[in-house]
Amino acid sequence: MPRGIIGAIVVIAIIAAGSWYTVDQTERGVKLRYGAVIGTAQPGLGFKVPLIDSVEKVSVKTFTYAWDKMNSYSYDQQPADLKISVTLRASPDKVADLYAKFSGLDTAVKQVVSPAVNQQVKIVFGRYTAVKAIQERGALNSAIKDAITASLKDDSMITIESVQLENIEFSANYLHSIEQRMLAEVEVQKLQQNAEREKVQAQITVTQATAKANAVRAEAQAAADALRLNGEARATNIRITGEAEAAAIEARAKALGTNPNLVTLVQAERWNGVLPTTMVPGSAVPFVSVK
């Protein structure tokens, strides 16, 4: 076969091979004609003019970029090194603009995202004191994300998916001061707990003493009441006995007045019938009346 024919076949094969292209699902193609952007190629098989058109592929997958040791100052002028990671991707419908302006995602991140991250992190972190930044780390993270997203809202070629504040590293002197302050706070809490415990113990002691005093007072009151009641009972008994004796005396007096011989009768009733063995000469025999 003549060399000319072979050469023609080779040229035709090369041209035919350059007339089609494929784009992966995680990519978008940027169509170029003589190096100028003329459109976007979607995933799948496509055709182009050989030797004139070309297709540059731009990934639309999600990537994470990290910024280490971003030196910033807190509201109370404490220096710190922050580590920030940003997860982003190229907007599928803006890959043509992205390529035309930056030729790729990495360049766009370097020229657009990185300055925004550095600036917004310093601004937002400067609104927080060092202690507040540690205590409210979640809120600080959200504030940084909102600030970065807002600063890039006009650059729709890049979509920010998440921002993570991975680490805050303060100076060794400041960390030591925090440790000392925490130890002091723990000691204060311990003293407060001891004071509270002593206060409770004192209240218990007062309560016990009050209860004991009440018991002693109640016992003394009971004894006094018993003594009073006993005295009242004795007085009543004496009064009743006296009244009875007085009544008996009064009754005897009345009986004696109406019956003079009552005394003799009483004597006779009480006599046991035995005469005295010794008598004074000339005396009368007791209780014996000759009438």
Asked whether the beta carbons of 158 and 115 are under 8 A apart, the reply is no
Structure tokens at 99: 């390529």
Q: Considering the domain boundaries, does residue 54 fall inside one?
A: yes
Residue 288 backbone dihedrals phi, psi, to 5 degrees: -105, 115
pTM for this predicted structure = 0.57
Q: Are 49 and 75 in the same domain?
A: no
Residue 41 backbone dihedrals phi, psi, to 5 degrees: -105, 125
Asked whether the beta carbons of 31 and 37 are under 8 A apart, the reply is yes
User: H/E element holding 31?
Assistant: strand 27-33
Q: Are 89 and 105 in the same domain?
A: yes
Q: Are strands 63-73 and 36-41 parallel, antiparallel or unpaired?
A: unpaired
Q: Are 82 and 168 in the same domain?
A: yes
Q: Which domain-ending residue is among 59, 79, 96?
A: 59
Q: Considering the domain boundaries, does residue 158 fall inside one?
A: yes
Q: Considering the domain boundaries, does residue 223 fall inside one?
A: no
Q: Are 12 and 81 in the same domain?
A: no
Q: Are 45 and 102 in the same domain?
A: no
Q: How many domains does the chain have?
A: 2
The per-residue pLDDT for 110 is 95
Q: Does residue 215 sit in helix, strand or coil?
A: helix
Q: Range of 53's domain?
A: 3-59
Distance CA 168, CA 137 (A): 9
Distance CA 145, CA 148 (A): 5
Q: Are 97 and 122 in the same domain?
A: yes
Q: Considering the domain boundaries, does residue 32 fall inside one?
A: yes
Report the 10 Å Cβ neighbour count for 102: 19
Q: Are 100 and 35 in the same domain?
A: no
Per-residue pLDDT for the chain (291 aa), expressed as one digit of tens each?
A: 566 666 666 556 566 556 788 999 999 999 999 989 999 999 999 888 888 989 999 999 999 999 998 999 999 999 999 999 999 999 999 999 999 999 999 999 999 999 999 999 999 999 999 989 989 999 999 999 999 999 998 888 999 999 999 999 988 888 788 778 888 888 899 899 998 998 999 899 889 888 888 888 888 888 888 888 888 888 888 888 888 888 878 777 777 667 666 666 666 666 666 666 666 666 555 555 544
Q: Which domain-ending residue is among 13, 34, 59?
A: 59
Q: Does residue 126 sit in helix, strand or coil?
A: coil
Q: Are 75 and 162 in the same domain?
A: yes
Q: Could you report how far apart the first and last alpha carbons of the chain are, in Å?
A: 207
The per-residue pLDDT for 218 is 86
Q: Considering the domain boundaries, does residue 164 fall inside one?
A: yes
Q: Which domain-ending residue is among 134, 151, 176?
A: 176
Asked whether the beta carbons of 148 and 156 are under 8 A apart, the reply is no
Q: Give the CATH number for residue 157.
A: 3.30.479.30
Q: Are 42 and 126 in the same domain?
A: no
Q: Does residue 51 sit in helix, strand or coil?
A: coil
Structure tokens at 94: 């803006």
The per-residue pLDDT for 280 is 61
The per-residue pLDDT for 277 is 67
Asked whether the beta carbons of 44 and 76 are under 8 A apart, the reply is no
Q: Considering the domain boundaries, does residue 198 fall inside one?
A: no
Residue 75 backbone dihedrals phi, psi, to 5 degrees: -60, -35
Distance CA 169, CA 192 (A): 32
User: H/E element holding 65?
Assistant: strand 63-73
Q: Considering the domain boundaries, does residue 23 fall inside one?
A: yes
Q: Are 111 and 144 in the same domain?
A: yes
Residue 248 backbone dihedrals phi, psi, to 5 degrees: -65, -45
Distance CA 256, CA 265 (A): 11
Helices (H) and strands (E) in the chain, counts: 8, 8
Distance CA 241, CA 247 (A): 10
Q: Are 52 and 86 in the same domain?
A: no
The type of residue at 229 is: L
Q: Are 28 and 67 in the same domain?
A: no
Q: Considering the domain boundaries, does residue 276 fall inside one?
A: no
